[in-house]
Amino acid sequence: MQPPAPFYELAGHFAVELPGARAVFTTRRGGGSGGPYGSLNLGFSTGDDPESAARNRATLLADVGAPPAAFMYQIHSAEVRVLVAPAQASERVRVDGQATAVTGIAPAALGADCLPIAIAGGGAVAVVHAGWRGLAGGVIAAGAQAVRQLVGDERLGAAIGPGAGPCCYEVGPEVHARFAAMEFARVGDNLDLKAIAAAQLERAGVAAVHDLGMCTICAPRLFFSHRRDAGVTGRQAGLAWLT
C-alpha cells in the first residue's frame, strides 16, 4: 500500500518529515515474532515472547536509524511528560504523551487501533497516544502545549499515524455523545478518530497536519488491530526524533 505524500516508505514502515524532526509509523513487517504477533510486535504486555518483542524493538530502531525510543505505559489519559535526558528512554511511566527538546531520544507510542500522533517544531518534538478517551480528555492540546513550553510560539507540524478508521470503528451512543459538537466525526454508527484528531490539532494552532489515512482494522497484512483480532494481537508504534 502506497502512502500518501508527504509520507514515504522507510524500511517497510511509513515516515514523514516534520519541522526539525522525523516521524515513523511502523507496520507489522520485518520482525521475528510469530502467530498473531507476527512479525514486528513491539508491545510489552502481549502474549508474545518478551525477548522476541525486545529484539523487534531493537531491530526497528536500527532499521529506521532512530535513537533510543522512550515508550510509555499508556493509560488513556491526557498526561504528557517532558523528557530532559536521553537516559529517560529506559523509563516507561504511566502517561499518554511525551515531549522533548533533546536530541538522542525518540518519544514513542504503541497502538493497535488508537492513533499515534507526532507534533514537532522549533527544535522540539512530541508523540501522543490518542484513542477516543484521550481525544475527549485533551491529550492533543496537552502535547502541543508541551512542545510550545519548550520552544515558544513556533510554527508546528503534525502527523497522524494508522488507527481505527471511520470505515470500521463502530461505537455506542455514549461515545458519540462525547463528540456531539463535532457532527463531522459521526459516520453512521462509526466514529472518525482521525477527523477529530485533525480538528483538535488545528484548534491547538498546528499549522500543517498530515494524515497517513490508513485503517488498522481493515489492513491485516500491515497492522495489528485489537478490535479486529479480539485482543490477541501485537502492537505497532509511532515514534519521532529531532533531526
71-117: pLDDT as tens digits: 999 999 999 999 999 999 999 999 999 999 999 999 999 999 999 99
Q: Does the residue 37 lie in any domain? A: no
The vertex-212 CA angle with 209 and 215, nearest 5°, equals 130
What pLDDT is attached to residue 110?
98
Q: Does the residue 39 lie in any domain? A: no
In the predicted model, what is the mean pLDDT of the chain? Answer: 98
What pLDDT is attached to residue 148?
98
Q: Does the residue 159 lie in any domain? A: yes
Residue with cell 499515524: 161
What pLDDT is attached to residue 156?
98
Q: Does the residue 162 lie in any domain? A: yes
Three-state DSSP state, 137: helix
Sign, CA torsion 60/62/66/69: positive
Neighbouring C-beta atoms of residue 215, cutoff 10 Å: 22
Give tens-digit pLDDT for 165-199: 999 999 999 999 999 999 999 999 999 999 999 99
Tell me how far CA of residue 129 lies from CA of 61, 100, 154, 187, in angstroms: 19, 16, 22, 22
What pLDDT is attached to residue 208?
98
CA 109 to centroid of chain Cα atoms: 5
What pLDDT is attached to residue 1?
84
CA dist 139 and 68 (Å) reads: 23
Q: Are 88 and 70 in contact (CB under 8 A)?
A: yes
Give tens-digit pLDDT for 223-236: 999 999 999 999 99
Q: Are 227 and 113 in contact (CB under 8 A)?
A: yes
Q: Are 201 and 161 in contact (CB under 8 A)?
A: no
Give the predicted TM-score (pTM) of the model: 0.98
Tell me how far CA of residue 146 lies from CA of 63, 123, 125, 136, in angstroms: 29, 12, 9, 18
116: containing domain: 15-27+69-232
CA dist 151 and 123 (Å) reads: 7
How many domains does one find in the chain? 1
Give tens-digit pLDDT for 114-128: 999 999 999 999 999
What pLDDT is attached to residue 56?
98
Q: Does the residue 109 lie in any domain? A: yes
What pLDDT is attached to residue 203?
98
Q: In terms of residues, how long is the chain?
A: 243
CA dist 173 and 63 (Å) reads: 43
Of 140, 163, 155, nearest to 225 by C-alpha is 163
Q: Does the residue 58 lie in any domain? A: no
Strands in 45-114 per DSSP E: 69-70, 80-83, 97-100, 106-111
Q: Does the residue 43 lie in any domain? A: no
Q: Domain with 144 in it: what CATH number?
A: 3.60.140.10
CA 119 to centroid of chain Cα atoms: 10
